[in-house]
Amino acid sequence: RYFIDWKNDVDNYFTIDATEGTIATNQLLDRESTAQYNFSIIASKVSNPLLTSKVNVIINVLDVNEFPPEISVPYETSVCENAKPGQVIQTITAADKDLSPAGQRFSFKLSSEASNKPNFTVHDYRNNTAGIETRRNGYSRRQQELYFLPVVIEDSSYPVQSSTNTLTIRVCRCDSDGTIQSCNVEAIFLPVGLSTGALIAILLCIVILLVIVVLYVALRRQKKKDTLMTSKEDIRDNVIHYDDEGGGEEDTQAFDIGALRNPKVIEDNKIRRDIKPDTLRFPRHRPPAEDNTDIRDFINQRLQENDVDPSAPPYDSLATYAYEGNGSVAESLSSIDSLTTEADQDYDYLSDWGPRFKILADMFGEEESYNPDKVT
């Protein structure tokens, strides 16, 4: 009888016929995962099972060409804007996951859809490498920045396997020696020597300036709005914006003259002095002045009496002289209708003021009636 020593065949990939001793696969084999298997087979006598022998079996898994060749490594291919026709810009190689037998070769060619485009071509060097060559005189990043080149790679095993691999070719700016200087997309629109960091800094400054301008305008509008609201609520608004001509003293609806007075004076004296009181006090009895009374003391006495008497005119100098026109006690203060010379003045009314003003009446009355020698 034949059987496999399971201590070695852990994965149980194979089985054996106990009578015939035929070895067969028990699972699907993959050379790419396990290329060789090693286990033992034990044979024993039917009549005497204690008589046994062991033999080692090595099984090599043969390769089947099931994987197509591919580009060995990803390439970053670039071409200069000032490239010339026939210039090699990249050398490529291929790799195959299958165990390539000695002498297996790879072939490279363009796909059928790319053969009609005169941008690039593939030159097979027939040593499992190929070169990507230019077919134009100069390239422009503004017109097209990226080119996609499909390359077909075939192996020499049976059956033949092939794959199409796409190379990405980027157009870059180079100097006269062919050294690449810039391949970035934004470099197309930037002047020479201006980096991406400088562009970001410039844009950031512009954004900050715009934010400052917007905040300034918003604050100006808010301040203007607050000023208008404050002026509407101001109690002196009618005084500030009062630009109409009133009717003189009779126009008492325009504004309150009390707002212009000193608050302390108003509190001390509640009686308004800008108008004549409705009820006047009876004049106090004044002792007659003696003939020998000094004129200065007489005037001071009368001045004090009038100062403390609220019914004595003038009631208020502001009310009396601040208004002009119809109804004003001072009448018109305009100099248009004033007399031009003192000779036209008429002071005859001084004679009606009593003997105290007789001297003034003689001085300002008719010239011929005044005699200085008679004045004592």
**182, containing H or E segment:** strand 180-182
Determine the pLDDT at residue 319: 47
The mean pLDDT value for 24-38 works out to: 88
Spatial distance between the Cα atoms of 251 and 242, rounded to a whole number of angstroms: 13
Neighbouring C-beta atoms of residue 367, cutoff 10 Å: 9
Percent residues over pLDDT 70 in the chain: 64
Encode pLDDT of 183-211 as tens digits: 875 544 555 455 677 888 899 999 999 99
Spatial distance between the Cα atoms of 204 and 201, rounded to a whole number of angstroms: 5
The answer on pLDDT for 45 being more than 50 is yes
Determine the pLDDT at residue 271: 53
The mean pLDDT value for 236-263 works out to: 54
The answer on pLDDT for 132 being more than 90 is yes
Encode pLDDT of 268-281 as tens digits: 555 555 555 555 55
The answer on pLDDT for 181 being more than 80 is yes
Domains belonging to the chain, first-starting first, are 2-60 (no CATH), 70-181 (2.60.40.60)
Encode pLDDT of 295-328 as tens digits: 888 888 888 887 777 666 655 555 444 545 566 5
With cut-offs at 50, 70 and 90, classify the pLDDT of residue 368.
very low
Determine the pLDDT at residue 359: 84
- Are residues 18 and 3 in contact, defined by beta-carbon separation less than 8 angstroms? yes
